[in-house]
Amino acid sequence: MTVTPIRALTLDELRERSSEKWREYPEDVLPLFVAETDFPLAPAITAALERAVRIGDTGYVASHTPLAAAYAAFAQRRFGWTVDTARIRSTADVSMGIVEILRRVIHPGERVIVNPPIYPPFFDLVDEAGGVAERVPLRDTGEGWELDLEAIEKALADGSRAVLLCNPHNPTGSVHSAESLDALARLAERYGAAVVSDEIHAPLTQPGVVFTPFLASGDAARRIGYAVTSASKAFNLAGLKCALMIAASDDTTAVLRSLPIEVEWRTGQFGMLAAVAAFSEESDEWLDGLLTTLDENRRLLADLLERHLPGARYRMPDAGYLAWVDLTGLGWGANPAKQILRQAKVALHFGPAFGAPGAGHVRVNFGTSPEILTEAIERIARARTAIDEAVSAVRA
């Protein structure tokens, strides 16, 4: 079957948006930092939202919605994962779901393992839940990144009570293997810890790469694990506020059911309607087209870096639209995105925000048009001399 790529909106069209990506910086800056994409909505989502506005379906989210069934069908089609809809609750977003679950599985002051380089809010979410982040970096194998199970076991043995997992991983785009997930679950169970798996990037796993939901990785994972996910990253719905919290055992389901009803009522009505449309079969063709576009862009970025910024190191991600690029070879210091913003007028995410392994790195959002991506890298290349001089002046 031929897949039609999804084409991004033009820069002029994107400048009409009022979201964070297009309002944080002046118009002379190309924004490739925050995780928003530049594509039109899937038609089924547009239709669902237009209908809701037309009929005034803008009230409170109902206590019974088609969301759980829609996600279960999606998970079966896309991942081969059978989800029990009775074990799903919704909330406003993945971050809120993480915090609410962590509050139930740790006591104040207990440590929660995170794996830098990691999505920066993870540190704050652990703190908000009353925990203390225990940093156990990913292991760089030379070909990719993986969980450092030996170091994780040491942290668990030393008293960490939970693991906040990112699967697929942000910012590296790594998809953890079923074997490593099962091993992580067995370690957590051995030491009486829980695992909360953020799987928001899962729908963006590239064809040919196998994504294993944490709760599908083995019996131990089902007993001690939780998944939190959303349509928001794949379908660009972050502003509509809808996420799912998923359990797979009676004990973990009881934890989700113990959450205050207000946690579920924070689900946005538009977010629920949009997510149901996103998870429907009607949106599968659009999602396949998006994956094709992202595959083209991740390869384009590799070519652009090789041609214009030799010395940059980049591994194409297996999932998502975020590239983790190592610029230490260019000598631009611990936080190169600062000088890139000043001298090249390109906004990238600051590497050190992702933890100590982020020094010298930037995160690049390639969920855009080839033209914008090309212009961004070419701007950085043209500004290379100015960046070199600015960095030297700072050091002097």
pLDDT band at 394 (very low <50, low <70, confident <90, very high): confident
* CA pair distance 387, 343, nearest whole angstrom: 6
Quote the pLDDT of residue 35.
98
The SS3 of residue 225 is strand
Q: What mean pLDDT, rounded, does the chain reach?
A: 97
- CA nearest to 351, candidates 314, 385, 377: 314
pLDDT tens digit sequence for 1-35: 789 999 999 999 999 999 999 999 999 999 999 99
pLDDT tens digit sequence for 266-282: 999 999 999 999 999 99
Q: Are 118 and 358 in contact (CB under 8 A)?
A: no
pLDDT band at 213 (very low <50, low <70, confident <90, very high): very high
> Which residue intervals of the chain bear CATH 3.40.640.10?
44-282
Q: What percent of the chain has pLDDT over 90?
A: 98
pLDDT tens digit sequence for 179-204: 999 999 999 999 999 999 999 999 99
Extended strands (E) in the chain: 30-32, 88-91, 111-114, 132-135, 139-140, 145-146, 162-166, 194-198, 225-229, 243-246, 313-314, 322-326, 346-350, 361-365
Quote the pLDDT of residue 4.
96
CATH 3.40.50.720 fits 44-282, yes or no: no
pLDDT band at 247 (very low <50, low <70, confident <90, very high): very high
Quote the pLDDT of residue 2.
87
pLDDT band at 55 (very low <50, low <70, confident <90, very high): very high
Token code pair at residue 167: 């699967």
pLDDT band at 328 (very low <50, low <70, confident <90, very high): very high
The SS3 of residue 192 is coil
pLDDT band at 395 (very low <50, low <70, confident <90, very high): confident
Q: Are 72 and 83 in contact (CB under 8 A)?
A: yes
pLDDT band at 334 (very low <50, low <70, confident <90, very high): very high
- CA nearest to 226, candidates 243, 250, 246, 212: 246
* CA pair distance 357, 22, nearest whole angstrom: 28
- 393 has pLDDT over 90: no
98, 162, 284, 286, 339 from 44: Cα distances, Å: 28, 38, 10, 9, 41
- 392 has pLDDT over 90: no
Quote the pLDDT of residue 290.
98
> Which residue intervals of the chain bear CATH 3.90.1150.10?
11-40+284-395
pLDDT band at 95 (very low <50, low <70, confident <90, very high): very high
CATH superfamily of 11-40+284-395: Aspartate Aminotransferase, domain 1 (3.90.1150.10)
- 373 has pLDDT over 80: yes
**Residue found under tokens 């079966």:** 76
Quote the pLDDT of residue 148.
98
Q: What does the angle CA 258 – CA 244 – CA 365 come to, to the nearest 5 degrees?
A: 140
pTM: 0.97
Task: Give me the residues paired with residue 228 across strands.
Answer: 198, 245
Specify the higher pLDDT residue, 1 or 302: 302
pLDDT tens digit sequence for 143-153: 999 999 999 99
- 288 has pLDDT over 80: yes
- 246 has pLDDT over 90: yes
Q: Are 244 and 68 in contact (CB under 8 A)?
A: yes
- CA nearest to 230, candidates 250, 245, 213: 245
Question: What's phi and psi for 329, nearest 5 deg?
Answer: -65, -15
* CA pair distance 36, 321, nearest whole angstrom: 9
* CA pair distance 6, 180, nearest whole angstrom: 33
* CA pair distance 267, 90, nearest whole angstrom: 6
